[in-house]
C-alpha cells in the first residue's frame, strides 16, 4: 500500500475533492493497470487510472491516478493506493455525447460556429444562452479585432471523473487564419465548475503585439451583486454597480507578499449574481502572469487576460502561452465561499508520496542516499530556494541569467535562462528525493513555461520547429536552437506527475528537432563542435528511448557514438574549438559527453563506450586539475580559473560505477567541498524591480540548481556507498 499524505491546509472540509497523482512502479511489479484508492479503514473512493509509461517487458512503469477524497478541516489525513483491489467506487460521472458535456448541474454544448465558444450553456436546467461565456476576443496593437473559430473538438483525456475536451482553432482576419488558438475545457465529476484553458500561438513570421485579450460573461437578467476580489493574506472585495481591479507592475512592486509564489501568491476573481444564480471566474495565478484585470457590472463581467493600456505584451514568432480560468456556477453563494473555492483552485490539495516509492521503482537517477548528511540536505534546500521569482505573462516560470545579461549577450536586455540544464527535471527529482510539496509546484510552473514559451511552435525552418530556444533576450529574440540547450526529462516528469499529454508531445517534438539537427554537416566532422552538443543530443534521445521503448530514438545514437570515436581517434581527446587556432579541454563539456555516453551505455552495454568514458575521465583527472585539487574551467591561460561546474562529479561517479575504483571519488572531493562553500541563501525574496514586461523579485537564476542537482547527488550517493562520506 502506498500512503497518500495530505497536509493540513484549509479550515473547511473538502468533500469528494478532486485530486491527482503519479506513481512509479519497478519493472515487473504491476503487470496491468489496476488499483484502488482507499482510506485507513479500507473504504474505496472514486478513482480512474491510466498508464503513462511501460517497462520494456510490458509492465506498468508510471500510473496516473485521479480520485475524489474527503479532506478534513484543520487536519492532515492519509489515504492509500493499493493494487490488491481493483475497484473504482461510485460517483456521478462526467457524461459526454459528442459536443455535449454534462457534469453536476452544468450542461454545455460546444460550438464550432464563428465567434462562439458554446452553443448552449445550462445550469440547473435553465438555458443561460450562448453568450453566457464568450470566446476569447483578441485585439492587436494596430487595433485589429480578430474573429475566433474552433475547427474541431476532441477528447484529450477520457475519464468519467475528470474529462478534458480540447478545441483547436484560429483567430482569423477576413476569413484568413492568422494566430492558432486552443481551448482546453476540464470538467469535474459532481462539481459545478469547470476550467477553461486558452492558448494562443503566434503562427506568423512577425511579432504579435497584443492590445487586449478578453473573455466576457453576458447575462440575460441584470446582476444584483457585482464583485471583484483579490486575495493575498486577507481578501479585498469591491462590490458595486460597476467595479474593476487591475493587476499591473506597480501593484506587484508595492504589494507585500510572503508566499512562495509557485505554490501560492493570492487569488483574483469576479462574480455576478442575481437573486437565484451566479457565475464566478477565477484567473489562475493572475498576479504571477500579470497584467490582468477583472471588471463586473449589471450585464456581466469581463476577464481581461491582457488588459488594454497596462503593459506591452509582445509575442515573438513561434511563441505560445496558455492562461487558465475557473468558471464556478452557483446559487448565489456567499462571497466567502466563492473565495474559498478560488483559493483552493490556486493552491489545490496534493497528496505527497514517500521518497522510498520513487527510489524503489528505479525510474530516476541514483540520487537517493541511504545516509544523507543534514548539512548537505540544508545545502540542497537552500540552493533550490534561492532563485528569483519573475512575474509576467511571458516570464513566469523562468528567470534571467544575470551573468549572461551583464556580459552583454542580450544587447542591453535581460537574457532569460529558458530553463537551462533542465530546471524542471531538477525540481521533479528534488520532490522525489524529499517528498516536499513545493518542489512539485516548481516543476509545474517551470515545466509549463518551457512547454509554452521556450519551445518554437511555428517556423518555416525545420531546424527551429518544435525545438527549445537557447538562453537569449526576450526568450527567443536573436535566439538559436542547438542540441546543447534542449531538454526533455523534465517535460516527461511533468507528464507522469500530471497526466498532461501536451508535455509528452512537447518532449517528442524536441526529440524530433534534435534528430534533424544532428543531420547537419557540422556533426559529421571531428572537432567542428563541442562535446556537449552531441552529448546533450545523446542524452535527449536516450531519455526518449527509455520513455517509449521505441528503437527509432536509438538509430541516430549509434552515429553519435561513432562520431565520438572518430573525434577521439583524430585528436586523442574530445577537444573543443576555441578561436580559430586553438582546441582545448573544456572540463564541463567533456563531462557532459561522458555522462551522456554513460546513460546510453546502461541501455547498450558496448565495451567500447565504457573505454571511451574511462579514457575521458582519466584524462581529466590527470591533466585538468589545478594544484589545489580543483578542476579548471577551460584549458587556456586566460580561462584556467577555479572551476565550479559540478557536472564533472557525475562523470567521476560514472567512472566509479564502471570500475569500483574510489580514486575517481577522491579526485572529486575538493570540487564537492568547494561547491558546498558556494551554498545558496535559501532566501526566495529580494528587491522587486520592473524591467520591460517583467517584475523581478531577486536576481539569482535557476541554472545553478539545475546544473548541480544530478551531478552533486549522484556523486554523493557513490561516496556514501563507498564509505567516503
Q: Collapsing DSSP states into helix, strand and coil, what is residue 54?
A: strand
Alpha carbon of residue 573 to chain centroid: 37
Tell me how far apart the alpha carbons of residues 130 and 2 are, in angstroms, rounded to a whole number. 45
CA distance linking residue 313 with residue 289, whole number of Å: 11
pLDDT digits (tens, 9 = 90+) for 13-46: 999 999 999 999 999 999 999 999 999 999 999 9
Between residues 39 and 570, the one the model is more confident about:
39
Q: What is the pLDDT of residue 577?
A: 81
Instruction: Tell me whether the omega of the peptide bond preceding residue 291 falls within 30 degrees of 0, making it cis.
Output: yes
Exposed e or buried b per residue across 594-603, where buried means at least 16 C-beta atoms within 10 angstroms of its C-beta: bbbbbbbbee
Between 682 and 604, the higher pLDDT residue: 604
Q: Which residues pair with 20 in a beta bridge?
A: 66
Contact 608, 565 (CB under 8 A): yes
As beta bridge partners, residue 632 has 642
Query: What is the phi/psi pair of residue 352, to 5°?
Result: -95, 140
302-347 pLDDT, tens digit per residue, is: 999 999 999 999 999 999 999 999 999 999 999 999 999 999 999 9
Phi/psi at 365 (5° precision):
-60, 170
Please give the Cα distance from 720 to 370 (Å, whole number).
8
Does residue 231 sit in helix, strand or coil?
strand
Q: Which of 24-33, 198-207, 363-372, 465-474 has the lowest mean pLDDT?
A: 363-372
**Number of residues written out for the chain:** 725
DSSP assignment of 289-334 equals T--EEEEEETTEEEEEEE-TTT--EEEPTT-EEEEEEEEEEESS--
Per-residue model confidence (pLDDT) at position 715: 97
Is the pLDDT reported for residue 526 higher than 70?
no
What the block records as the C-alpha cell of 97 is 455525447
Task: Kindly state the cell numbers that stand for 636.
Answer: 587556456
Residue 132 exposed, middle or buried by CB count within 10 Å (0-12, 13-18, 19+): buried
Q: What stretch of H or E contains 272?
A: strand 267-273
End-to-end CA distance of the chain: 33
| pLDDT at 687 > cutoff 90 | no
CA 134 to chain CA mean position, Å: 29
Whole-model pTM? 0.96
Q: In which element (H, E) is residue 299 found? A: none
Unique residue bearing C-alpha cell 525545420: 462
Please count the other Cβ atoms lying within 10 Å of the Cβ belonging to residue 528: 14
693/677 Cα distance (integer angstroms): 35
- Residue 209 CA to residue 144 CA, distance in Å, equals 11
- Evaluate the CA torsion angle 691, 696, 699, 703 in order and state its sign: negative
User: Among 679, 565, 575, which residue's Cα sits nearest to residue 613?
Assistant: 565
Q: How far is CA 662 from CA 592, 657, 723, in A?
A: 21, 10, 10
Written in H, E and C, the secondary structure of 664-722 is HHHHHHHHHHHHHHCCCCCCCCCCEEEECCEEEECCCCCHHHHHHHHHHHHHHHHHHHH
Cis amide leading into 404 (omega within 30)? no
The reported pLDDT for the residue numbered 374 is 82
**Residue 388 near residue 260 (C-beta atoms within 8 A):** no
**DSSP assigned state of 470:** P
Q: Which three cell numbers stand for residue 563?
A: 562520431
Contact 486, 513 (CB under 8 A): yes
Residue keyed to cell 497528496: 351
List all residues 6 or more positions away from 93 whose beta carbon is below 8 Å from its beta carbon.
Answer: 103, 160, 161, 189
Reference 100, options 153, 159, 161, 157; nearest CA is 153
pLDDT score of 563? 83
Per-residue pLDDT band at 644 (split at 50, 70, 90): confident
Burial class (CB in 10 A: 0-12, 13-18, 19+), 356: exposed
Assign 370 a pLDDT band (cuts: 50, 70, 90): confident
Q: Is 19 helix (H, G, I), strand (E, B) or coil?
A: strand
pLDDT of amino acid 572: 80
CB 138 within 8 A of CB 209: no
Contact 677/616 with Cβ under 8 angstroms? no
Q: What is the pLDDT of residue 79?
A: 98
What's the whole-number mean pLDDT along residues 543-561? 92
Closest CA relative to residue 482, chosen from 405, 426, 552, 534: 534
Smallest CA-to-CA distance from 421 within 19, 30, 709, 36 is with 709
What's the whole-number average pLDDT of the chain? 94
Yes or no: say if 18 and 162 are a contact pair by the CB < 8 Å rule.
yes
How far is it, in rounded angstroms, from Cα 553 to Cα 540? 9
Are the C-beta atoms of residues 353 and 440 closer than 8 Å to each other?
no
398 in the Ramachandran plot: left (φ > 0), alpha (ψ -120 to 50) or beta? beta
Residue 386 is predicted with a pLDDT of: 87
Spatial distance between the Cα atoms of 380 and 533, rounded to a whole number of angstroms: 28
Contact 338, 225 (CB under 8 A): no
**Under a CB-based contact definition with an 8 Å cutoff, are residues 486 and 533 in contact?**
no
Contact status, residue 226 vs residue 240, Cβ threshold 8 Å: yes
Residue in this structure with the C-alpha cell 484553458, named with its chain if needed:
197
What is the average per-residue pLDDT within 64-72? 98
Give the model's confidence band at 375: pLDDT under 50 very low, under 70 low, under 90 confident, else very high. confident
Please report the pLDDT score of residue 613 as a whole number.
96
Percent of the chain with pLDDT over 70: 98
Furthest-apart CA pair in the chain: how many Å? 82
pLDDT computed for residue 556 by the predictor: 86
Rounded to an integer, the average pLDDT of 336-362 is 97
* pLDDT at site 148: 98
The CA dihedral of 462, 500, 451, 191, to the nearest 10 degrees, is: 130
Comparing 143-152, 286-295, 395-404, the range with the smallest average pLDDT is: 395-404
Give the chain's domains with CATH numbers: 2-82 (2.60.40.1180), 95-346 (2.70.98.30)
Question: DSSP per residue over 73-107, as a string?
Answer: TTS-EEEEEESS----------EEETTEEEETTEE
**Sequence-separated (6 or more) residues with CB below 8 Å from residue 186:** 162, 163, 164, 194, 195, 197
| pLDDT tens-digit map of 174-193 | 999 999 999 999 999 999 99
Q: How far apart are CA 51 and CA 649, in angstroms?
A: 34
Helix (H) or strand (E) holding 230: strand 225-231
Helices (runs of H) and strands (runs of E) counted in the chain: 16, 34
At 461, is the secondary structure helix, strand, or coil? coil
* Rounded Cα gap, residues 582 and 418, in angstroms: 30
The DSSP bridge partners found for residue 591 are none
Give the three cell numbers for residue 54: 511501460
**What band does 292 get if pLDDT is binned at 50, 70 and 90?**
very high
Amino acid at each position: 500500500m502506498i500512503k497518500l499524505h495530505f497536509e493540513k491546509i484549509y479550515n473547511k472540509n473538502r468533500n469528494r475533492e478532486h485530486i491527482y497523482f503519479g506513481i512509479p512502479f519497478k519493472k515487473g511489479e504491476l503487470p496491468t493497470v489496476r488499483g484502488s484508492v482507499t482510506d485507513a479503514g479500507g473504504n474505496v473512493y472514486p478513482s480512474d487510472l491510466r498508464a503513462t509509461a511501460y517497462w520494456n517487458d510490458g509492465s506498468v512503469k508510471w500510473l496516473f491516478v485521479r480520485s475524489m477524497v474527503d479532506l478534513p478541516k484543520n487536519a492532515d489525513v492519509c489515504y492509500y493506493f493499493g493494487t490488491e483491489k481493483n475497484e473504482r467506487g461510485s460517483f456521478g460521472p462526467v457524461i459526454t455525447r459528442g459536443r455535449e458535456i454534462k457534469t453536476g448541474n452544468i450542461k454545455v454544448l460546444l460550438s464550432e460556429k464563428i465567434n462562439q465558444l458554446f452553443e448552449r450553456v445550462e445550469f440547473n436546467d435553465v438555458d443561460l444562452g450562448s453568450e453566457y461565456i464568450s470566446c476569447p476576443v483578441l485585439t492587436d496593437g494596430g487595433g485589429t479585432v480578430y474573429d475566433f473559430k474552433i475547427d474541431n473538438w476532441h477528447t484529450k483525456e477520457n475519464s468519467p471523473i475528470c474529462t478534458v475536451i480540447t478545441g483547436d482553432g484560429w483567430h482569423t482576419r477576413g476569413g484568413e487564419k492568422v494566430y492558432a488558438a486552443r481551448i482546453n475545457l476540464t470538467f469535474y465529476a459532481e462539481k459545478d465548475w469547470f476550467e477553461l484553458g486558452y492558448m494562443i500561438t503566434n503562427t506568423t513570421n512577425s511579432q504579435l503585439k497584443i492590445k487586449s485579450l478578453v473573455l466576457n460573461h453576458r447575462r440575460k437578467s441584470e446582476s444584483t451583486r457585482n464583485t471583484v476580489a483579490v486575495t493575498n493574506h486577507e481578501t479585498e472585495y469591491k462590490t458595486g454597480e460597476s467595479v474593476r481591479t487591475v493587476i499591473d507592475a506597480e501593484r506587484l512592486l508595492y504589494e507585500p507578499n510572503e508566499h512562495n509564489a509557485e505554490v501560492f501568491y493570492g487569488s483574483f476573481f469576479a462574480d455576478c449574481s442575481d437573486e437565484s444564480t451566479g457565475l464566478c471566474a477565477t484567473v489562475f495565478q493572475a498576479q504571477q502572469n500579470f497584467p490582468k484585470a477583472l471588471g463586473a457590472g449589471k450585464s456581466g463581467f469581463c476577464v481581461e487576460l491582457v488588459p488594454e493600456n497596462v503593459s506591452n505584451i509582445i509575442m515573438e514568432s513561434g511563441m505560445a502561452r496558455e492562461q487558465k480560468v475557473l468558471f464556478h456556477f452557483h446559487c448565489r453563494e456567499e462571497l466567502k465561499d466563492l473565495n474559498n473555492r478560488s483559493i483552493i483552485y490556486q493552491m489545490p490539495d496534493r497528496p505527497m508520496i514517500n521518497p522510498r516509492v520513487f527510489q524503489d521503482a528505479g525510474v530516476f537517477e541514483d540520487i537517493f542516499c541511504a545516509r544523507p548528511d543534514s548539512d548537505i540536505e540544508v545545502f540542497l534546500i537552500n540552493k533550490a530556494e534561492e532563485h528569483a521569482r519573475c512575474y509576467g505573462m511571458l516570464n513566469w516560470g523562468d528567470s534571467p541569467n544575470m551573468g549572461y545579461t551583464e556580459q552583454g549577450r542580450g544587447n542591453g536586455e535581460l537574457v532569460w535562462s529558458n530553463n537551462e540544464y533542465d530546471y524542471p527535471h531538477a525540481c521533479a527529482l528534488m520532490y522525489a528525493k524529499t517528498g516536499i510539496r513545493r518542489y512539485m509546484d516548481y516543476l509545474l510552473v517551470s515545466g509549463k513555461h518551457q512547454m509554452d514559451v521556450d519551445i518554437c511552435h511555428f517556423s518555416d525552418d525545420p531546424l527551429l520547429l518544435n525545438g527549445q530556444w537557447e538562453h537569449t533576450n526576450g526568450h527567443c529574440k536573436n535566439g538559436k536552437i542547438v542540441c546543447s540547450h534542449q531538454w526533455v526529462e523534465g517535460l516527461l516528469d511533468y507528464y507522469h506527475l500530471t497526466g498532461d499529454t501536451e508535455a509528452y508531445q512537447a518532449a517528442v517534438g524536441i526529440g524530433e528537432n534534435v534528430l534533424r539537427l544532428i543531420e547537419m554537416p557540422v556533426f559529421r566532422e571531428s572537432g567542428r563542435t563541442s562535446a556537449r552538443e552531441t552529448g546533450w543530443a545523446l542524452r535527449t534521445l536516450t531519455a526518449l528511448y527509455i520513455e517509449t521503448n521505441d528503437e527509432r530514438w536509438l538509430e541516430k545514437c549509434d552515429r553519435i557514438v561513432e562520431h565520438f570515436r572518430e573525434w577521439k581517434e583524430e585528436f586523442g581527446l574530445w577537444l573543443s574549438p576555441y578561436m580559430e587556432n586553438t582546441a582545448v579541454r573544456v572540463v564541463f563539456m567533456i563531462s557532459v559527453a561522458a555522462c551522456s555516453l554513460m546513460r546510453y551505455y546502461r541501455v547498450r552495454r558496448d565495451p567500447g563506450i565504457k573505454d571511451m568514458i574511462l579514457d575521458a575521465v582519466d584524462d581529466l583527472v590527470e591533466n585538468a586539475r589545478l594544484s589545489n585539487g580543483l578542476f579548471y574551467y577551460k584549458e587556456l591561460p586566460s580561462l584556467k580559473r577555479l572551476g565550479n561546474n559540478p557536472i564533472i562529479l557525475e562523470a567521476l561517479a560514472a567512472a566509479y560505477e564502471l570500475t569500483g575504483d574510489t580514486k575517481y571519488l577522491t579526485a572529486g572531493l575538493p570540487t564537492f567541498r568547494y561547491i558546498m562553500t558556494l551554498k545558496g541563501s535559501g532566501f526566495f525574496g529580494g528587491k522587486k524591480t520592473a524591467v520591460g514586461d517583467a517584475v523581478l523579485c531577486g536576481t539569482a537564476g535557476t541554472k545553478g540548481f539545475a546544473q548541480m542537482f544530478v551531478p552533486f547527488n549522484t556523486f554523493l550517493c557513490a561516496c556514501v556507498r563507498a564509505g567516503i562520506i
